[in-house]
Each structure stands twice: as C-alpha cells, then as structure tokens.
C-alpha cells in the first residue's frame, strides 16, 4: 500500500531531526577534517581515469556517457578541465599532458563557429549548445543552447585560468583563452528582457519559457551572469532568483533548509564556489550559509531513504542517494501489491520536495558528490556501494542501480537485470563522474575552492548578489 504524503512528511521530519541532531555543525567539523580511508583514493583515481580514457585529445571534448557511443556534453568538459589539474596534484597525469588536454579544449572553444543558424555552429552569443558532436564539435541534432551547461563549462575554464599559473607560453595561453571565452558570453541577451536568466534558446524558436528562479543548480548561473566582465545581467537578477524561496523551505529547527529534491542541485554550484562562511540576504536571515544548507539537504535525502515510503528494496542508512541519473526505462509494473512507476534517465529526489521523483533508483554520485558536506555519512555509503554486485568497475561506479527492478522480461533501455540483485546501469555519465573527483579534492585540500576564491568573475558575482563575510571580507 502506498504511504500518503502527509504521513511520510511527519516520518521524514522525525528521522531527519534524529539523525541531524547528533551531527556537529559544519563549522566545528572543518577544523578536524577526518582522513579518508584508503579505498576512497581508488574510487577517485578510477573515476579520474574515466575522463582520461574517454577524452578526444584533438579537441578536449569528453562524452556525455560511455561506453554507449555518445555526443559530447559541454558540462562534462567543464568537469574535465577541472579534473586535469587535480590529477596533476595527485600524480595521476603529468603536467604537460594535462596542459595539452586543457589547451586542446580551449583552442577548440575559442575557434568554434558561433551564430544563429540551426546547423554548422557550436553556439551563439558566446554560449554553447548542451551537446556537441565528439569529432566535429558542432551542434548535435536539435539540442538547446544551454545557459546552465555553458555555466558548468565556464566554471571549468575559470578554474583552469586560476590554476595554470606558469610563465611558459602554453600556460599563459590557457589563462588568456579561458578568461576571454568566459567573458564573451552575452548574459544580458539571455535575460531576454526579463530580470531572470532563461534556461535555453533554440534557433528559429527563440528562448525557452523556463527560467532560472528559485533554489536549484541555477545558482551558479546567476552568479556567473552577475560577475561577467563584459556582458553582465542587470541589478536585481539575484533578487529575482531568490523570489520563490518562501515556497522552497522544508523542515524545522536543525532540519530547516531550502529544498530541491535531486542532490545535484545542492552540489553543482559548490563544486567550484566556496559558500562556507559567506551569506546573502536570505542566508543572513536564515542564520546559516548555503554550505550548511547543502549539509542539511544531504541528511534529508538520506533520512528519506531510511524512511523509504515507497518500500523499495535496499534503501538504508548506508545505501542512499537520489539525484539525476540513468534508470531502467519507463514502465508501470507490479511491486509489493501496487503498481510502481519506473523511469529511464530522470531527476530523482525525495517526495514532498521540489522536482520530486522516486522509483527506487540510487546513484553513487548523489552521496559521493556530498562528501564535503557530510563525510560521516558519505564514507559509510561509499563503502557499502562498493559491495553492490556489478556496480564498481574499471572506471569507478556505473551511473546507478535499482535493487527493486528485477523484471528480467522487461525491455530495458540500458543496463542489465539480475533476478536476485536487480538492475545496474551500463554506462558512466560524465556529469555524474565529475562531482565524485572534484568534491573529494575539495574535501581533501580545498583544491578547487581556494583557486576559485581568487576569480574576479566569482568574487564580482557574489558581491553583486549581496554576499558578505568569510573569505569575501
């Protein structure tokens, strides 16, 4: 029998309060950051090697997914530009090799054709299409010019501009190209006469109706738009972004947080931007920062999986994590006396939160991408994920798995089904691999955060959004 939403909310609040009350505040924990166990480095290195395996060295593009043949995701390229220096610092790749891969990508995007034609271009007005052909680098089919995926690409470029500080001509070229490409983006155009930023644009059809407003991964997009050196958005963009916040709050007391069901919405902006100790008007009123907000959201995601209102198999305090990921496919199938709905690729997260969806599919990137926020629950989850049959492979964790999906006769979209252990994804997804490596580097050494704190674009964007305190001071 399906548990009602009101019953779940009461149970979830109680579970969240019980688990979070015993956890020290993020600020107190930061001074004594626990050392990660040895197995975690194996996860990081295998995941890094996925980027090294799949990159096209001629243009620096990496695929959306692999081993299924795929187009390139510009968001995954942003992660690649970030993981190359991480690999240098960890001894996984030589500095010259990482430099050459970085330059290949920057030189490609520097010369990639722009314009409003539906074919033959890679972008328009300084932005780039969500998906590009892996070889030609041109727009893949009919996908959109994406403001948020361009943001993920640009953040990788800004990190490259700040990390490659050598005096030789190649590293100087990295800094010059990365800064120039990011500054070309015409953010004022992407507002389309409104205070908010559109999510996308199509040739011949114009801007999407959907805009970045409310609490989700679009936070980084608005900050980048405010911080642009050449084409920034107008004053008031951050206030327009925050306007829907009253409807986003969930929980009370120590569990109160701005909610967005899939965990990627709490992770992506913070892969590059250090929100510890800095606050905008909304967080000053709330009494905590966005880092703490993501910690609470991580615990809420886990608490929901513990409560498990849909009665999925496998969910527990050490096996949890809902976010956007692959799934077995779109099905309506019998499950424990009810009809259960399953999905293919989709955003997933706790019921009762914005963008809710739960079909029993768990993604390793959901927990591991939250490592800096809550290592005390992420590390045990990682250890448990290593034991899931068929999930951990040569290049780290496959994208996702679903212990409840044991329907061997179903014509699944991807992956494989075992009648005892359930469905496991076939592919790795670049946008899900990135957070595993990047957030581990931030947890270990503040690797990305300490570089990005020096970025004029990031500092300008945060200050225009009204952030004060902490490292901004």
For the stretch 411-440, pLDDT in tens is 999 999 999 999 999 999 999 999 999 999
Domains present along the chain, CATH in parentheses: 5-472 (1.50.10.140)
Residue in 267, 239, 226, 243 with CA at minimum distance from that of residue 369 = 267
Burial of 287-316, coded b for 16+ CB within 10 Å and e otherwise, reads ebbbbbbbbbbbbbbbbbbbbbbbbbbbbe
User: Could you give the CA distance from residue 143 to residue 139 in angstroms, rounded to a whole number?
Assistant: 7
The per-residue pLDDT for 83 is 98
Poorest-confidence range of 27-41, 134-148, 199-213, 437-451? 27-41
Q: Is the pLDDT of residue 281 over 80?
A: yes
The per-residue pLDDT for 7 is 32
DSSP secondary structure code for residue 379 in this structure: H
State the first-to-last Cα distance of the chain, in angstroms, to the nearest integer: 54
User: Could you give the CA distance from residue 315 to residue 401 in angstroms, rounded to a whole number?
Assistant: 11
Give yes or no for a contact between 3 and 358, defined as CB atoms under 8 angstroms apart: no
Confidence at 19, pLDDT banded by 50, 70, 90: very low
* Segment 303-319 mean pLDDT: 98
Q: Is the pLDDT of residue 28 over 80?
A: no
Confidence at 73, pLDDT banded by 50, 70, 90: very high
Give yes or no for a contact between 221 and 154, defined as CB atoms under 8 angstroms apart: no
Percent of the chain with pLDDT over 70: 93
Q: Is the pLDDT of residue 137 over 80?
A: yes
* Segment 150-174 mean pLDDT: 98
Residue at token pair 């899931």:
388
Give yes or no for a contact between 170 and 185, defined as CB atoms under 8 angstroms apart: no
The per-residue pLDDT for 2 is 31
Per residue in 284-310, pLDDT (tens digit) is: 999 999 999 999 999 999 999 999 999
* Segment 32-57 mean pLDDT: 96
The per-residue pLDDT for 31 is 53
Confidence at 34, pLDDT banded by 50, 70, 90: confident
Residue in 410, 283, 303, 365 with CA at minimum distance from that of residue 21 = 303
The mean predicted confidence, pLDDT, of the chain is: 94
* Segment 77-102 mean pLDDT: 98
- Select the more confidently predicted residue: 25 or 135: 135
What pTM was estimated for this model as a whole?
A: 0.94
Percent of the chain with pLDDT over 90: 93
DSSP structure string for 279-309: B-HHHHHHTS-HHHHHHHHHHHHHHHHHH-T
């Amino acid at each position: 029998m399906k548990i009602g939403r009101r019953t779940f909310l009461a149970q979830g609040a109680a579970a969240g309060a019980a688990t979070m009350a015993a956890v020290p505040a993020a600020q107190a924990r930061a001074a004594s950051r626990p050392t990660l166990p040895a197995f975690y480095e194996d996860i990081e290195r295998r995941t890094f090697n996925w980027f090294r395996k799949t990159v096209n060295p001629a243009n620096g593009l990496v695929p959306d997914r692999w081993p299924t043949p795929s187009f390139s995701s510009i968001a995954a390229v942003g992660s690649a530009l970030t993981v190359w220096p991480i690999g240098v610092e960890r001894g996984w790749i030589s500095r010259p090799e990482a430099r050459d891969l970085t330059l290949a990508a920057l030189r490609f995007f520097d010369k990639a054709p722009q314009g409003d034609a539906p074919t033959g271009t890679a972008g328009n007005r300084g932005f780039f299409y969500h998906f590009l052909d892996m070889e030609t680098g041109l727009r893949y089919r009919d996908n959109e010019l994406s403001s948020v995926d361009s943001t993920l690409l640009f953040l990788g470029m800004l990190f490259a501009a700040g990390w490659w500080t050598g005096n030789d001509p190649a590293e100087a070229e990295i800094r010059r190209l990365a800064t120039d490409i990011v500054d070309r983006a015409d953010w004022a155009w992407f507002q389309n006469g409104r205070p908010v930023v559109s999510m996308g644009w199509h040739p011949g059809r114009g801007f999407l109706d959907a805009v970045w407003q409310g609490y989700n991964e679009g936070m980084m997009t608005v900050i980048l738009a405010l911080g642009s050196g050449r084409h920034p958005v107008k004053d008031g963009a951050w206030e327009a972004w925050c306007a829907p916040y009253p409807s986003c709050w969930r929980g009370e007391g120590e569990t109160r947080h701005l909610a967005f069901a899939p965990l990627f919405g709490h992770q992506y902006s913070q892969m590059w931007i250090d929100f510890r100790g800095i606050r905008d008007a909304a967080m000053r009123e709330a009494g905590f920062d966005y880092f703490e907000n993501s910690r609470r959201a991580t615990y809420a995601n886990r608490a929901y999986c513990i409560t498990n209102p849909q009665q999925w198999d496998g969910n527990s305090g050490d096996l949890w994590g809902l976010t956007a990921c692959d799934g077995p496919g779109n099905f309506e199938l019998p499950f424990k006396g009810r009809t259960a709905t399953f999905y293919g690729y989709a955003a997933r997260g706790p019921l009762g939160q914005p963008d809710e969806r739960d079909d029993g599919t768990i993604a390793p990137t959901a927990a591991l991408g939250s490592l800096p926020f809550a290592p005390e629950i992420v590390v045990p989850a990682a250890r448990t994920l290593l034991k899931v049959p068929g999930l951990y492979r040569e290049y780290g964790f496959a994208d996702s798995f679903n212990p409840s999906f044991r329907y061997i006769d179903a014509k699944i979209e991807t992956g494989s089904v075992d009648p005892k252990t359930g469905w496991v994804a076939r592919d790795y997804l670049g946008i899900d691999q990135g957070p595993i490596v990047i957030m581990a580097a931030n947890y270990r050494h503040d690797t990305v955060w300490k570089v990005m704190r020096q970025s004029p674009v990031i500092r300008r964007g945060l200050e225009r959004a009204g952030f004060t305190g902490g490292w901004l001071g």
